[in-house]
Structure 1
Amino acid sequence: MRKKHIIFGSFTVLLALMLMHGCAPQRSISSENLAHIYNSERTPIRADYRVFHPEEGLTTVFLRIAASDLTPGQNMETFRMESNAVIDLKVYPPQGPMVRAVDSVLVRVNDTAPGRDDNYLHSAINLSIRSGYTYRAVMRITDVNKNETQELRFDIDKLNPNHRHNFLVFETAQRIPLYTDYVTTPMRLRIKNNESKDMTVRYYNRNFPLPPPPFSSYSPPPFRYEADSVFTMRATSDFSILDVNRPGFFHILKDGNQKSGLSIFTFPDPFPLVTSTEQMFESLRYVTTEWEFREMRQRSNLRLAVEKFWLDCAGSKERAREMIQVYYGRVEEANRFFTSYVEGWRTDRGLIHIVYGRPNIIHKTDRGETWIYGEDRNTMSLSFTFVKVINPFTDNDFRLSRDESYKASWYRAIESWRNGRIHAN
C-alpha cells in the first residue's frame, strides 16, 4: 500500500521582504550555470508538477515522481524494501537574491512496492502565498537511499487571475492531474477553475513554419486570434468535461474577453519520442538544403531516403547509426524541454539544441536565457540569447535574437553533420 506524503514542516516569512527589490526592472543575470536543466542524461529523477490556486492565499503544487528512478533500500523497522524521496520546496520573492523564502515545505514520500517501471509517487503540497506577485520556486527532490538530488525551477503566477495556474485539469480515466500541456491520443479531460465560472473554449488548428537559421532576418507573422470554433463549458459543482479529440489546440478562458487562460495541445503519439519515418524526415530540414528536402519528399520510399541521407553523410552503417542516435536524441530532448504551442524541435531553442548540441553554460533571467558554447566571458565563445515571449497560450515560448554574425558558425555546424561528424557534445 502506498503511503501519503508526510509534511515535516512549513513556515512563512513576512512578505515585506518582497518589496526590498520591487523597483528593479528585471532580475540580474544569474551567475549560476544552469546547463544541466536541459540535459536528460543529468536528470537522475524524472518528475513533473502542476500548479493550482484553489483559493486566495493558498497554492497547491501537484507532483509525480518516477518511482523507478528511486533506489530501493531496506526499512530497518519493517525489513521490507522501499524507495524514499524527500521534497524540499521553497518559494522566493519576485526579485532579488534567492536567500529568504516566502514559504517553504519539506515533504517525504515513500514507495512500499518498488520495482515497477510504470509506477509514480504522487504528492500534493500546499503553500501559503498571497496574490499579487509572480513568485520563483525551487524544488529539490532527493533520493534518500542514493543521496542524489534533482532540482526543478519554475514560476508561480499569482499576479494574473486568468493565468493557467487558476485551472486544474484531471484525466478522467485515472483521476490524477494532467501533468503536461498536451495529449497524444483522444482523451476526455475534467477541468475546473478556481472561481467556478463558465469557461469559453477557443479551438485552433494552425500550421506554424519552422524557424530559420540564426543569422536570418526574421519576424514571425502575427498570430490570428480569430478561433476556428468557439463553445462554452458550463460550470458545475465538480469538474466540466472537455473531449480533446482533434488536432490543434484548445484555449480555455475564465473571461472570454481576455487572452490569458489554459491551453491543451495535441501532438502525434508517441510524442515526445521520434519513432515514425515522417517525424525523422521532417526534422532533417535543419541539415538539408531546400532542394534536397523536396527531392526526398518525392521519393516513393521515404524511409529508405532518410536512411540513405545518413549513410551518405556518415560513410558507414556503424557511423550512421551513431549519428542517427545522437541527432534524434536531441530532437526528443528538445520536445521534452522546449515544447510550447509547437513541438519543441520546431522552436528556436530546439533548432540551436539540435544543430549545436547542449551548451556548456546557461544563464537565466525572468526575461530570457543566454546559452554559451565555450567558456563564460570568453570572446572566442559562441553565445545565443533567447528572449521570453509573452504568449497567452504558453509560458515556454522563447525567441532567438538573430544576428548575421552567426552565419559562419552555422555553416560550420551543418558541414560537420553532413561530413559525418557529430557537432559538439
Structure 2
Amino acid sequence: MIGQKISDKIKPIIGLVLFLFCIPSIILAQQNLETANQALRYSRYSRISLKIIPVEESNRTFLLQMTVEKIEEDIEFGSYEFYYGVVSSFQEPLTDQNLIRLNSQDIIRDTDYHYYFEKRVTVPESQQMAIALIKAVDTRQGDEYFYHMDLISPFIFGQSNFGVYYEDKIPFDQNFLIQNEPIEFKGRGIVNLHTFFYPNTFDVPMPPMEIRPAPVPREVKVEYQGSFLANLPKAFAGEGYYFIQSDTNSTQGVMLKTVHDIFPRVKDYDEMVDMVTYISTRREHELLKEAADKKIALDQYWYTLTKDTVSAKKLIKEYFKQIEFANILFTDFKEGWKTDRGMVYTVMGPPNEVYFRQDSESWSYGTPDSISKITFTFARVKNILTPSFYTLNRSRALQPEWFKSITLWRNAQMVF
C-alpha cells in the first residue's frame, strides 16, 4: 500500500522529467534557415531552381517575384509543393504559421522554362530584419529546395524599386546577361533610369590556404552612360557590369553582369588557359600563357596530365562542366568561376552540406561521420552591387584536402 502511494507520487515527477528531456529534441527538430541543408541549391542534379527578386513598392512593402526554373523535363506542377513566407531571423522556425502554400491558382505565368508567382508583403515597423523565402518539396522523393533573400537587414543597401524582365515577361532571374540581349525595366511611375558601366576585369582568387591579403585594385573604372526610358526593351553592348538606378542620390539599384554570347561555357582557348589555373602548377600555367598556339599547348597539357586520350577527353569535359556550373551559380560582378565560391566549387565539386547564417555560408564535404570531412566557410560582405557577396575564410588547414582534390583532377579521377 505504501509502495503504491509512493509510486503514485513518483509518476508525475517521472512524467515531468521525461517532458523536460523531450523539449530540446522538439526544439532541435524545428527547421529554420540555419538548420536547413541547402545543398540542392548547388547540386548538378537539381530538378528545379528557385529565386526571389524583391521589388520595393514603399518603405516596408515589397512585391516578391518568385520564379521556379524548370530544369526537369516535362515537369508537372503536382509533383512539387511550393511555399513562401517572411521570417524575422535565420533562427525563426519554419512552421505552418509563417509558410504559406502556393497553389496552381497562384501562378502568374507558366512558360516552357518557368513557373512565376508574385506576392505582396508588408513588414511591420517594429521588425528590424525580414528575410523572404521560397521552399519547394519534391513529393516523389522528399527533396527540399530553398531560396532566401533579405528584404531588410544590415547586409543590404535597400531593394530596387523597379523590376527587370525577359521578353516573355518573366522576372530576370539569372546572374548574368548576354551582351546585346534585350531585357525590359518596369517601375511605378519611373520614366528615366540611369546607367553606370564598369568595364573591369578581375584576377583569379588566391587559393584557400593562402592567408596573405589579396591585392586590391587601386581604382575602379566607371563610366556614366546616361539615362534611358523604362518600359521599353533595352540592351547593353559592353562586357563588364552595369549598375542601373532610378535615383543617383540613393544606394538602390540593379547590378547586371554582361557576358559573351556562349557564357556560361568557355569562349576560346585564351579563356581556357586562364581557367586551368586551379589545377595547374605555376610553371605549367606560365608556359600555357606564353604559348603562341594555345590549342596545341592545351592539347599537350591535357595529354601530359593523363597519358591517355580517352582520359584527357573525360578530364576536359568534367572540368569545364564544373566551370559552367560555377558561372551559372556564382556570377556577380565577377564571372562565377573567379569568385571564391566558384573556385571552391570548381575544384572540390558540389558540397554535401550547405548551411547559411546571416553573416556566412558554410560548405562541408564528406559524410557527417567521415574522418576526412572538410568545411569551407564564406563570410558575407556588405556590397552595394549585390546582396550575395561572399569571401572565403582562408586557412592553411585547408591545404591537404585541396591538394588531394587537385591530384584527383590531374589523374582524371574526380567524379561527382
TM-score range, shorter chain: 0.7 to 0.9
Name the CA distance, whole Å, in 2 between partners of 1:221 and 1:201. 28
1:306-339 CA-to-partner distances (Å, cap 9, x unmatched) read 2332222222222222222221221112112222
Q: Does the residue aligned with 1:358 lie in a helix, a strand or coil?
A: coil
Matching residue of 2:21: none
Q: After TM superposition, give the deviation of residue 188 of structure 1 in Å.
A: 3.7
Q: Does the residue aligned with 1:123 lie in a helix, a strand or coil?
A: strand
1:339-390 CA-to-partner distances (Å, cap 9, x unmatched) read 2211111111111122222333333211112222335487753222210111
Do the aligned residues in 2 keep the contact of 1:103 with 1:128 (CA within 8 Å)?
Answer: no
Counterpart of 1:318, as a letter, is V
2:288 corresponds to 1:296: yes
Work out which of the residue numbers 316, 328, 335 in structure 1 matches 2:308: 316
Name the CA distance, whole Å, in 2 between partners of 1:67 and 1:99. 25
Work out which of the residue numbers 313, 316, 336 in structure 1 matches 2:328: 336
Do the aligned residues in 2 keep the contact of 1:86 with 1:109 (CA within 8 Å)?
Answer: no
Name the CA distance, whole Å, in 1 between partners of 2:382 and 2:60. 25
Q: After TM superposition, give the deviation of residue 299 of structure 1 in Å.
A: 3.2
Q: Does the residue aligned with 1:36 lie in a helix, a strand or coil?
A: helix
Do the aligned residues in 1 keep the contact of 2:38 with 2:145 (CA within 8 Å)?
Answer: no
Matching residue of 1:210: 204
Matching residue of 2:147: 153
Matching residue of 1:124: 118
Matching residue of 1:263: 255
Query: TM-score scaled by structure 1?
Result: 0.76
Q: Does the residue aligned with 1:217 lie in a helix, a strand or coil?
A: coil
Matching residue of 2:224: 230
Q: Does the residue aligned with 1:177 lie in a helix, a strand or coil?
A: coil
Q: Does the residue aligned with 2:48 lie in a helix, a strand or coil?
A: coil
Q: After TM superposition, give the deviation of residue 254 of structure 1 in Å.
A: 4.1
Work out which of the residue numbers 68, 75, 91 in structure 1 matches 2:86: 91
Matching residue of 2:55: 52
> Which consecutive unaligned segments of at least 5 residues does structure 1 have?
1-27, 74-81, 111-115
Name the CA distance, whole Å, in 2 between partners of 1:332 and 1:282. 14
Q: After TM superposition, give the deviation of residue 47 of structure 1 in Å.
A: 4.1
**How has the CA–CA distance of structure 1 residues 129 and 52 changed in structure 2, closer, same or farther, with 3 Å as cutoff?**
same
Do the aligned residues in 2 keep the contact of 1:181 with 1:265 (CA within 8 Å)?
Answer: yes
**How has the CA–CA distance of structure 1 residues 295 and 380 changed in structure 2, closer, same or farther, with 3 Å as cutoff?**
closer
Q: After TM superposition, give the deviation of residue 85 of structure 1 in Å.
A: 5.2
Do the aligned residues in 2 keep the contact of 1:296 with 1:302 (CA within 8 Å)?
Answer: yes
Name the CA distance, whole Å, in 2 between partners of 1:225 and 1:259. 20
Q: Does the residue aligned with 1:291 lie in a helix, a strand or coil?
A: helix
Q: Which segment is superposed worse, 175-184 or 189-198?
A: 189-198
Do the aligned residues in 2 keep the contact of 1:67 with 1:119 (CA within 8 Å)?
Answer: yes
**How has the CA–CA distance of structure 1 residues 415 and 159 changed in structure 2, closer, same or farther, with 3 Å as cutoff?**
closer
2:409 corresponds to 1:417: yes
Q: Does the residue aligned with 2:104 lie in a helix, a strand or coil?
A: strand
Q: After TM superposition, give the deviation of residue 246 of structure 1 in Å.
A: 0.8
Counterpart of 2:265, as a letter, is L
Name the CA distance, whole Å, in 1 between partners of 2:278 and 2:85. 40
Q: After TM superposition, give the deviation of residue 101 of structure 1 in Å.
A: 7.1
1:200-258 CA-to-partner distances (Å, cap 9, x unmatched) read 43211112111111111332444667653224436x7x637654111111112344344
Q: Does the residue aligned with 2:341 lie in a helix, a strand or coil?
A: helix
Name the CA distance, whole Å, in 1 between partners of 2:190 and 2:399. 52
Matching residue of 1:39: 43
Query: TM-score scaled by structure 2?
Result: 0.78
Q: Which segment is superposed worse, 181-190 or 160-169?
A: 160-169
Work out which of the residue numbers 223, 238, 248 in structure 2 matches 1:246: 238
**How has the CA–CA distance of structure 1 residues 150 and 69 changed in structure 2, closer, same or farther, with 3 Å as cutoff?**
farther
1:110-150 CA-to-partner distances (Å, cap 9, x unmatched) read 8xxxxx9x543333233343466442333233567x57655
Counterpart of 2:317, as a letter, is Q
Work out which of the residue numbers 390, 393, 397 in structure 2 matches 1:398: 390
**How has the CA–CA distance of structure 1 residues 345 and 294 changed in structure 2, closer, same or farther, with 3 Å as cutoff?**
same
Name the CA distance, whole Å, in 2 between partners of 1:300 and 1:367. 46
Matching residue of 1:353: 345
**How has the CA–CA distance of structure 1 residues 194 and 387 changed in structure 2, closer, same or farther, with 3 Å as cutoff?**
farther
1:179-208 CA-to-partner distances (Å, cap 9, x unmatched) read 224211313443345673854432111121
Counterpart of 1:107, as a letter, is L
Matching residue of 1:30: 34
1:163-184 CA-to-partner distances (Å, cap 9, x unmatched) read 344331124x444322224211
Do the aligned residues in 2 keep the contact of 1:70 with 1:83 (CA within 8 Å)?
Answer: no
* % same residue: 19
Name the CA distance, whole Å, in 2 between partners of 1:147 and 1:211. 38
Do the aligned residues in 2 keep the contact of 1:361 with 1:376 (CA within 8 Å)?
Answer: no
**How has the CA–CA distance of structure 1 residues 411 and 45 changed in structure 2, closer, same or farther, with 3 Å as cutoff?**
closer
Matching residue of 1:196: 190
Name the CA distance, whole Å, in 2 between partners of 1:166 and 1:134. 19
Do the aligned residues in 2 keep the contact of 1:156 with 1:165 (CA within 8 Å)?
Answer: no
Counterpart of 2:205, as a letter, is P
Do the aligned residues in 1 keep the contact of 2:52 with 2:133 (CA within 8 Å)?
Answer: no
Q: After TM superposition, give the deviation of residue 393 of structure 1 in Å.
A: 1.0
Greater helix content: 2
Matching residue of 1:78: none
Name the CA distance, whole Å, in 1 between partners of 2:244 and 2:97. 30
Matching residue of 2:19: none
Matching residue of 1:168: 163
